[in-house]
Amino acid sequence: MNKSIKEEEKDDGSKIFQTIEVAKVDHRSNVSPPPSAGTTPLLEVSTGDEFSLLPPLNFAMVDNGIFRSGFPDSTNFSFLKTLGLRSIISLCPEAYPENNMQFLKSNGIKLFQFGIKGSKCLPGLENEVWLHLRKHQKEGSYTNGNSKTTEPFVNISDYKIREALKVLLDEKNHPLLIHCNRGKHRTGCLVGCMRKLQKWCLTSIFDEYKRFAAAKARISDQMFMELFDVSSFKNTPMSFSCSSS
């Protein structure tokens, strides 16, 4: 399969993200003809992929032209076609599955991959995470945008979230789907940081995050969103509304 892969690196040589461009194949010759005049079209039910409109896990609309979900698989492809996607933001570090790449190629969808490793706090450590971050915040030694900060529990990359936000805010990439593995933590953090740009209050941001994370909600993720500095995006054009929630 022909792919054009562009990788960007930081000054230290570490990879930020990769963009994969794929060619589009025109399938219009396979479109079925419209029903004959005078007939009433019926809802067609089929076990085939063509009529199986199954959304990915935790799918939802975030804003105009922006969607979120867990990792899509082949059972979700017919549904995703209805969205007319131009781009996908994947927050998973693993190589994108070949089956998914074929789907992107067939539909002219660009993949932006920001590899953020999923991680879990050990049971009982969430409060320690909170206290740890609060301590460093009060001492002034914790700066969310500082890549040199070493904190042992939170593994969301501030820099990669910022780069993903730039892609997310660019209307040329819409309609766009954001996904991680389950559509909960990494996706929730990216959406939460976008909500700060929309001037949502923290209570509303956390409520939305918890709707998807449910019992798996992490204090560390919420702390990340609370500390995330959006001031560098104040002059960035935005196609969505920026009103308080």
> How far, in Å, CA of 121 to CA of 227, rounded?
19
Q: Which of 121, 180, 189, 193 is catalytic?
A: 180
Task: Give the pLDDT score at 228.
Answer: 95
Task: Give the pLDDT score at 85.
Answer: 98
Q: Does 189 qualify as catalytic in the annotation? A: no
Main-chain phi, psi angles of 132, to 5 degrees:
-60, -50
Are the C-beta atoms of residues 156 and 239 closer than 8 Å to each other? no
Integer CA distances (angstroms), 168 to 1, 13, 235, in order: 27, 24, 15
Task: Give the pLDDT score at 37.
Answer: 47
Task: Give the pLDDT score at 194.
Answer: 96
The mean pLDDT values, 10 residues at a time, for the chain of 245 residues are 60 62 51 48 46 90 97 96 98 95 97 83 48 52 39 65 95 97 95 96 97 92 94 76 50
Task: Give the pLDDT score at 87.
Answer: 98
β-pairing, 87-90 with 176-179?
Answer: parallel
